[in-house]
Each structure stands twice: as structure tokens, then as C-alpha cells.
Chains A and B, each alone.
Chain A
Amino acid sequence: MPTDTISAPFDIYRYRPGKDAAPRYQRFTLELTPHTPVLTALLKIRAEIDPSLGLRYSCRSAICGSCAMQINSKSRLACETHIGPEVERHGRIVVEPMRNQPVLRDLVVDQSPFWREYDKIEPHLKLDPRHPMPEGKATSMSPAQVDRFKETPRCIACAACYSACPAVEADPAFPGPMALAKLYRFVVDPRDTATQDRLVRIQPNGLWLCLRCHLCTEACPKDVRPSERIRDLKEMAIAAQGGTELGSRHAIGFKENLKGGGLLNEMKLVRATSGLAGMAGQVGQGIRVWRKKPEIMKRPRTIEGMDEVEKIYAALDPPPKEEP
């Protein structure tokens, strides 16, 4: 049964660095069925209207990860994003290159920043040369061990997470969601012998810049859930090393803070994280806020049933070892 077509206006980002004075958006309006993938439409534009349109793609089946781009501001695979809902919601389809990577031409970006961060985490098993894997024999892993990294191998390195990440956008010191999710995969691999070293090295190298905004998990077409793996890394880093960074000190400080009375004591937390010297640097801002919000200096009340909270802490902090 034929499906009715809709009129789909595409506004496509066009830019040739070094040749064009500035990026522009070019309008193409196509009659297509609502279930047409954006990639199919782009290939039709290139084949039938403008052969100069630059884009990257390969498999057209959400396997290769080549066609990630921004579609109406969302970092997505063009091959699995249908035009119907986009036109319905936005009246048009704005197609732009991924963010956080320099544009080479139109929708094609230079992915080297993304791959550089990936290389930095040393994404390979580090084995102990004194205990090589038995020749010709598979190493065995329990289902529970495999379960810990069942999501991360699904990654197709499309960089949609890297494009969506506000920490990457604001700070080159952040390795990005994909590199950290990959790091997690090696940290929990029972064959890897560099777990402690990996955790110690990532702490001062961007781990604590993750905002836990979950935009990466939202962007990921393969449900790798990088933000949740980064959370896991943070807890493992604290267990391995304690509070060596501002980020880990803040997390530990917050946890300890609630033991005081069950509600957050803001001033005490700032002191625990930044120390007295760090606090001194924030005096000006503190006074500005205090003049409007004097409660920041006040000790909060102690909640009723605080003894229950204390007992929960006693039972679960540090967390008891899980049954293997």
C-alpha cells in the first residue's frame, strides 16, 4: 500500500573552510514518505540536485557509525532518523555537522579530537607478562563478570556522544563520554591488570568534569549509557584512591556532610571541598550571595529520625562486598 508523501523542507549546513567566507544554510524541499531516513534524503539531494554536498556515510544500517550529524540540534545517526516526526515537530529539518569537531566540508567533520581522547585511555587489554594468557586456550569469565560490560562493546564510535557533550564543548580537558565508557570497559575486564593505574590516572585527567547531564546517554544510538559508566568509574576511583581531586573530595564531602543532620550544610561542604584557602578565593562571591540569601551561612536543622540515617550509613558505608 503506497504511503502518502509529505513536503519536507531541509535546511542544510554548507561550508568549505578556506573557500567560503562563512557557513550558510541551503534549502531543499523534497516530497518524501514520513518514514524516509534523513540519510536517504541527503543522498537523494546529492544524486539528483547538488552533487557537491559533502557527507560521510557507509552502511546505512546504524552499524558503521559514519553518518552521525546534528538533526534539528540533536546528535543522531542520519540513517535511523526518520523525517516524519522531525517535520511534524519543527516544520523543517535542519541538518548540521556534529559539534565539538572542526568542519572539513559541509556535514563532514575532522574526528581527530575524538580519536585522540580514545587513544589516550589506551584502549587495549594490558596483561601481566609474567602470567601470559594460556596458549590456545580461552580465558574463562563468569556471566556476572561479563555482565558488567555488556553495554560498552556495543559502541560504534559514531561520536554522537562527543558532539552532544557540554563538558567537551566547554573544556578541552574533558576526554568525552566515549573515551570514558571505553576506559570503564577495561577497568572492569577481569583480564586487565592495569585497573588501579587506569583509575589513578583518569582522576586528574578529566573524570570529574563530567556533569552527569546524561546528554551522551540520550544521544547514543546503541544504548551504551556512557554517563552511567562514568558514574561507575567515579565510585571506583574513590574506592581506589579516596579524595585526591576536587571532584572526588566534593563527592566524599557531600556524603559525609549528610551525617551531620540529614540536610545539606552548604558552608561546611564548600570547606570540605575547597579547603580554607579555596574558600578565601570565593569570599567576594559568597558575600554577594549572602546579602540576598543569608541562609547560606546558617546551619540547617537536624531532621527527625536522624538515627535511622546514621544506621543506614553504618550498614552501607563503605558498601559491603557483593556476593560474587
Chain B
Amino acid sequence: MRIAYYPGCVAQESGKELDMATRWVCRALGIELVEFPNFSCCGSGFVDEANEVLNIAINARNLAIAEKAGLDILTICSTCQGMLTLAKVRMQDPKVKARVDGALKPLGIEYKGTVQVKHLLRVLTQDIGLPAVKAKVRRPLQGMKVGAFYGCHLLRPADEMGSESAEEPHSFEDLLTAVGATPVDYRGRVMCCGFPIQFVKPSTASAIAGRQILDAKAHGADAMATPCPLCHLSLDAYQNKAAKEVHAPLDMPVFHLPQVVGLAFGASPEELGLSRHLVPTDAALAKVRSPASA
């Protein structure tokens, strides 16, 4: 399949390993990533707070770029997925559309609303399908217990996101099972990582992240996996601060979603950028049992 690749800002900057892992996995599955150097940032929810209609307009421009090329959009960040989808939903309101079109039309940009925005989790579980994913597994992650961390914007608000049950999602666990890992069930999997208030009140943000990591740990997780690089920053890069807030050692390796898939497909830790994590992933990798045939 061919799809317009919307990496978002973090995967092009401090979360480069997410971009590396995405490219590796998509290559393995024959997904052609079409790049558009004119995509802008999605506003990350913050522009939406400062100026809603502006936020819709910059995302309508992003949507229109892919639409014009006749391609759907692939996101690898829950916040990008949320913001692009929200723009699509808001543009169904004729009053909003008129205001936004007023800014886009003079630039020759036309947004029709035909483009679909799909997160990598959905592409892997629905478009490619779990049997095809399974068929590529060379090194099943047997023995590794993984807490899927959905975070917020893939799921909620459910009326807008609408890809699966926001309260009882299971696609991430299905994917983990398909690559041989054992998913761990815990309440925190659909909770917030705290990132949006990291700059407003870091202690509260880190306390929230810490709670979710502790919850995954209490349910036996060797590692967590997230579909969002902002959650990854909160859970991995700031995990030391989270540990301080919850007064407990955490030492929880946190994978980006395509890293887990890539590992099972046989990619090396270097190819997936695992050394760029703040919390080492070795302990989780050591849990993977060698295949019986090896």
C-alpha cells in the first residue's frame, strides 16, 4: 500500500528512533511511505487551546495536501492523529468550514473531506491485518510481558476518534499477541501520560506518568509500549522524574509501537534506535526466550 507519511515533529527531532523504526517496519511490510516536505506541525493540542479555528485551518491544509495526491495519511503519533482527525470532524460543520475555506481558498487550497487519517496501529491491525503481520515474525517476543499504553488521543474523544472502544480497546494487545509478546491488562493503559502539563506543573505531570508506570509494573509488565512519542517522552525521557514523584524505583523500558514490531520482525536494536532511550531496554530484551528451534 502507498500512504502519505505524516511523521509529526517529535519523530523528526528528539524522537528520531520512532521514525527509524516506522520506516524499517513499513519497508518489511511493503508499505510505501510517500513524503510531503510541506506538511506542517499539527499544533499538538496547544494551538487548539490558543486559537481553535487557526488550528483547524493548519490541519485542513495538511489534510488537503494528502487529499490532492489521492492518498490517505499515516500518523505515528496519537496527538497528530487526534488533531488531524479533529480537524476533519470540525470541518463537517458548515460554519467552521466556511471560515476555514475563507483562509484556504485564496491560497488555492481545497479541502474536500475524502482523506482518511490512520495511525500506524490501525494500519497494522486493520489494513495490513494481523495474519500478514504474524507472517513476518522471525523472532517472536515470547516471554516478554508488555503493557500497551494507549494514552489519550488515539481513543478520545471517542465520538470523534471512533476507531475502537475507548474504554475497552484491544487492538494494541492484539498486535502484541501477534508478535509473540504477552499483553498485560492494567487500568493505566487508557490513562493519560501527563505530558500536556509537563511545562505547566512538572511535578503533577510526572506524578501522573509515574502512576501509570507503577500500575503496569504491578501487573507484571517487563516493558511498556506506546503509539505516541509524547507519551514516550513522558514515560521514558522523564521517567527519572516520575520515579521521584511516586517515591519508587521504576526502571521500566518503554518501546515505541513499531520498535516492538520491528524487534519481532528481526530488526537489530541499532536499526530501531533503542540506544536513544533514556531507560535501557536490555532487561526487557533479555526476557525474550530463544525460539525452541534455535
Interface residues of A (CB under 8 A from B): 73-74, 89, 166-167, 169-171, 173, 208-209, 211-215, 217-218, 225, 227-228, 231, 234-235, 238, 245-248, 250-252, 254-255, 258, 262-264, 266, 270, 273-274, 285, 288-289, 292-293, 295-296, 298, 300-301, 303-305, 308-309, 311-313, 315-320, 322
Contacts and interface: CB of A to CB of B under 8 A. Distances in A.
A235 B9 contact: no
B245 to A, nearest CB: 9
A73 B278 CA distance: 31
A255 B197 contact: no
B250 interface: no
Contacts of B219: none
Given A74-B167, A254-B46, A166 B191 contact: yes
Given A247-B197, A264-B13, A308-B109, A217 B157 contact: yes
Question: B102, B191, B238 — which one has the most chain A CB atoms within 10 A of its CB?
Answer: B191
B276 interface: yes
Interface string B32-53: 0000011111011111111111
The 5 A-B pairs with the shortest beta carbon distances in the complex, nearest first, are A214-B156, A254-B46, A213-B192, A315-B103, A305-B38
Given A89-B168, A289-B14, 16 more contacts: A166-B211, A170-B211, A209-B197, A214-B153, A214-B157, A234-B50, A250-B46, A255-B46, A255-B51, A255-B54, A266-B13, A289-B278, A292-B277, A293-B16, A312-B61, A320-B99
B194 A217 contact: no
Interface string B192-216: 1010110111001001100100000
A262 B61 CA distance: 12
Given A258-B40, A316-B57, A246 B9 contact: no
A211 B38 contact: no
A316 B208 contact: no
B204 A171 contact: yes
Contacts of A308: 38, 61, 107, 109
Question: A74, A167, A251, A316 — which one has the most chain B CB atoms within 10 A of its CB?
Answer: A316
B187 interface: yes
B240 A288 contact: yes
A215 B14 CA distance: 28
B158 interface: yes
B237 interface: yes
Interface string B216-230: 000000000000000
B191 A289 contact: no
B12 interface: yes
A212 B207 contact: no
B130 interface: no
B26 interface: no
16 contacts: A74-B167, A166-B191, A215-B191, A235-B49, A245-B200, A251-B50, A255-B47, A264-B44, A273-B199, A293-B16, A296-B14, A309-B61, A312-B103, A315-B103, A316-B53, A318-B51
B106 interface: yes
A318 B50 CA distance: 9
Nearest to A208: B200
Taking residues whose C-beta sits less than 8 angstroms from the other chain, chain B's interface range is 35 or more
A273 B168 CA distance: 36
B241 interface: yes
B207 to A, nearest CB: 5
Contacts of A309: 40, 58, 61
Given A235-B51, A255-B54, A303-B38, A213 B13 contact: no
B152 interface: yes
B152 to A, nearest CB: 4
B267 interface: no
B125 to A, nearest CB: 18
Contacts of B46: 250-251, 254-255
B20 interface: no
B58 A166 contact: no
A298 B39 CA distance: 19
B29 interface: no
B166 interface: yes
Contacts of A89: 168
Contacts of A74: 167
Contact of A228 (B13, B50, B157): B157
Contacts of A212: 45, 49, 152, 196
B137 interface: no
Given A211-B208, A258-B47, A289 B9 contact: no
B104 interface: yes
B200 A250 contact: yes
A277 B188 CA distance: 34
Contacts of B52: 231, 235, 319
B294 to A, nearest CB: 31
A211 B58 CA distance: 22
